[in-house]
């Protein structure tokens, strides 16, 4: 049961409302009136509460509000549709005459051109006769045979003889010549073996000894020549590659007259080398005379004395230089 004043739910046989305090006995027989809610959305009435079933019932909206929600649709206009159809057909016709028809006419014109060119080629081919090539008659059996000269053997070139070394003669006293202090040697000695050089000097040269002051293994010996001077011969792989003459001097300086005569005989020197104290200690000529090698004048102090040396180095020498004797 419910309170008729505030609508609160009460227990059965309650005499007073425990919410508002109203008396219930006098009004128990009368039905409980429920508050009616006003419609909120689009004219719909508020749902009513059924006290018997204790459920809310949604009322059916009135017919007038349903008519207002009905959407009025316009009926299609036949005249407008007809005009639109006519315009679409006109656009298609205009597009055909503006685009498609010129393209078809162009194709037809090209066909005519190709056809005319084919006719021209056919007419030209039939009008112009093709020249025929006359066959060359074969010679008959009575024709004189062509004379073929007899084949001759091509002569083979005669191989040139292998050049032989210049024969080494014996010494006639001019193997070593001093001219104005400059040493001149017989260039045919270079490249000869020790045995050949010994034969040249009538077996008078001493045996070879090892030279310890070179970048490559060398052997050497000293020759006392007929002019009373001593010369050193250097051999690499038993081939003569160097001849040296040295003389003692007082000052550690290359004599000016010696350098002057060397320039007169061989021309301007090619290189000059200096000592640590910037003293000229070596002059070299790349090609001196007919030796086909190097000629050098250099200082060589050893044993507490100063020496000036003249040396020919043959072009087959493989080392850097025949070093000074320490």
How far is residue 193 from each of residues 196, 210, 233, 273, 322, measured CA to CA in Å?
Answer: 5, 16, 11, 32, 18
Has residue 8 been placed in a domain? no
Task: Specify the pLDDT at position 64.
Answer: 47
Has residue 1 been placed in a domain? no
Task: Specify the pLDDT at position 121.
Answer: 46
User: Which of 20, 40, 62 represents a domain boundary (last residue)?
Assistant: 62
Contact assessment for residue 310 and residue 321, using Cβ atoms and an 8 Å cutoff: no
User: Which of 42, 62, 82 represents a domain boundary (last residue)?
Assistant: 62
Contact assessment for residue 304 and residue 282, using Cβ atoms and an 8 Å cutoff: no
Tokens for 267, please give them. Answer: 């021309």
Place of tokens 């293994």: 217
Has residue 270 been placed in a domain? yes
Has residue 323 been placed in a domain? no
Has residue 80 been placed in a domain? no
Full-model pTM = 0.49
For the chain, residues with pLDDT lower than 50 are 27-30, 32, 49, 53, 63-71, 117, 120-121, 124-128, 130-133, 135, 144, 151, 160-164
Q: Look up the domain containing 38 and give its range.
A: 31-62
Give the span between the Cα atoms of 30 and 33, in whole angstroms.
9
User: Which of 16, 46, 62 represents a domain boundary (last residue)?
Assistant: 62
Contact assessment for residue 16 and residue 10, using Cβ atoms and an 8 Å cutoff: no
Give the span between the Cα atoms of 194 and 223, in whole angstroms.
12
Task: Specify the pLDDT at position 168.
Answer: 63
Has residue 98 been placed in a domain? no
Residues 180 and 305 in one domain: yes
Count the domains in the chain: 2
CA atoms within 13 A on the CB side of 6: 11
Contact assessment for residue 269 and residue 284, using Cβ atoms and an 8 Å cutoff: yes
Three-state DSSP class for residue 210: strand
Phi-psi category of residue 266: left, alpha or beta, with phi > 0 → left and psi -120 to 50 → alpha: alpha
Has residue 54 been placed in a domain? yes
Has residue 168 been placed in a domain? no
Task: Specify the pLDDT at position 179.
Answer: 93
Between CA 9 and CA 12, with CA 10 as vertex, the angle to 5 degrees is 135
Place of tokens 């008959």: 140
Give the span between the Cα atoms of 24 and 5, in whole angstroms.
9
Contact assessment for residue 188 and residue 199, using Cβ atoms and an 8 Å cutoff: no
Task: Specify the pLDDT at position 321.
Answer: 80
Task: Specify the pLDDT at position 325.
Answer: 62
Neighbours of 283 (CB within 10 A): 21
């Amino acid at each position: 049961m419910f309170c008729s004043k505030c609508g609160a739910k009460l227990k059965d046989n309650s005499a007073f409302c425990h919410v508002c305090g109203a008396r219930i006995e006098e009004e128990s027989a009368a039905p409980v009136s429920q508050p009616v809610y006003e419609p909120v959305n689009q004219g719909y009435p508020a749902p009513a509460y059924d006290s018997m079933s204790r459920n809310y019932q949604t009322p059916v909206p009135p017919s007038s509000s349903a008519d207002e929600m009905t959407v009025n649709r316009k009926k299609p206009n036949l005249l407008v549709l007809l005009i639109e159809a006519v315009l679409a057909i006109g656009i298609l016709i205009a597009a055909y005459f503006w685009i498609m028809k010129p393209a078809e006419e162009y194709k037809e014109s090209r066909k005519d051109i190709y056809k005319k060119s084919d006719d021209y080629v056919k007419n030209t081919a039939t009008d112009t006769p093709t020249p025929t090539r006359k066959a060359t008659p074969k010679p008959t059996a009575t024709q004189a045979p062509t004379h073929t000269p007899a084949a001759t053997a091509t002569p083979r070139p005669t191989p040139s003889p292998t050049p032989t070394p210049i024969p080494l003669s014996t010494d006639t006293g001019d193997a070593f010549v001093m001219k104005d202090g400059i040493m001149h040697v017989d260039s045919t000695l270079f490249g000869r073996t020790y045995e050949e050089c010994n034969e040249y000097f009538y077996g008078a040269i001493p045996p070879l000894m090892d030279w310890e002051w070179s970048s490559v293994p060398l052997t050497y010996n000293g020759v006392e020549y007929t002019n009373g001077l001593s010369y050193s011969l250097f051999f690499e792989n038993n081939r003569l590659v160097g001849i040296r003459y040295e003389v003692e001097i007082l000052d550690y300086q290359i004599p000016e007259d010696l350098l002057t005569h060397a320039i007169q005989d061989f021309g301007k020197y090619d290189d000059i080398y200096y000592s640590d104290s910037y003293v000229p200690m070596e002059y070299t000529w790349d090609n001196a005379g007919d030796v086909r090698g190097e000629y050098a004048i250099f200082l060589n102090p050893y044993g507490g004395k100063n020496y000036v040396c003249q040396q020919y180095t043959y072009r087959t020498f493989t080392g850097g230089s025949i070093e000074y004797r320490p």
